[in-house]
Amino acid sequence: MRFLALLLCLATGGMAGEYAVFASGSRMHVDRHEREGANVRLYTGTGYIEISADQVRRIEPDGAAPAVSAALPAARPASSAQQLADAAADKYGLPRKLVRSVMRAESNFQMRALSNKGAVGLMQLMPSTAQTLGVDPHDPAQNVEGGARYLRGLLEKYNGGLWHALAAYNAGPGAVEKYNGVPPFGETINFINKIDKDVKKQ
């Protein structure tokens, strides 16, 4: 399918391109950019996001990016957590690298992780999302299965747009719809950037 080909391309592609440095100080690797009136289009793979130009501080060449500034925690996943991620990825036809990277960014593979907003478990499901998915967020296997199913559904919703799907996973589909793309939230941009880097280095 189209979006799986896109994900596999992301997972195996090189890092040539440039970095967009945002007003928040966060960075995102992109293939290229274009100025479009008061907005900037940031291209990656076969798609792009469009954000207000005042949200972009500067564009840097790929070689200017610091080696570890946006690196994810180095801790390796517990084998049981990795097995849950791989099983859920296989069940929903997602790249294992992607599901592992989302799990790392969300909970660092901690089965009992609880965010200050109430998100629960390995892939940090909100209780309302878990209820909609019909899973128990406190059960690790159900939590990860639900998270992978939710991510798959978002990828289908956004026609394979990985950044849009990850933004919706982090900030909610409502935020993506409000900004007609990736919302200019530092937390969300960092989340996407971390997963993008983690997938490519696995």
Tokens of 33: 């950019």
Q: Are 152 and 110 members of one domain?
A: yes
Residue 19 included in any domain: yes
Q: Are 145 and 85 members of one domain?
A: yes
Q: Are 62 and 84 members of one domain?
A: no
Q: Is the pLDDT of residue 180 over 90?
A: no
Phi, psi of 10 (to 5 degrees): -60, -40
pLDDT at 61: 82
The pTM of this model reads: 0.67
Q: Whose CA is closest to 47, among 6, 1, 95, 94?
A: 6
Cβ contacts of 83 within 8 Å, gap of 6 or more: none
Q: Which of 157, 174, 193 is the last residue of a domain?
A: 157
pLDDT, the chain, mean:
81
pLDDT tens-digit readout, 33-72:
888 888 888 776 656 677 778 878 888 887 654 443 333 3
pLDDT at 47: 65
pLDDT at 77: 52
Residue 71 included in any domain: no
Residue 98 included in any domain: yes
CA 200, CA 134: separation in Å to the nearest integer? 32
Q: Are 142 and 180 members of one domain?
A: no
DSSP assignment, residue 17?
A: S
| Rg from Cα positions in the chain | 16
Cβ contacts of 168 within 8 Å, gap of 6 or more: 154, 157, 158, 175, 176
Residue 72 included in any domain: no
Q: Are 187 and 140 members of one domain?
A: no
Exactly one of 18, 34, 36, 106 is catalytic; name it.
106
Residue 26 belongs to domain spanning = 2-66+159-201
CA 80, CA 152: separation in Å to the nearest integer? 22
Q: Are 133 and 90 members of one domain?
A: yes
CATH value at residue 126:
1.10.530.10
Question: How many domains does one find in the chain?
Answer: 2
CA 182, CA 40: separation in Å to the nearest integer? 12
Is 60 designated active site? Answer: no
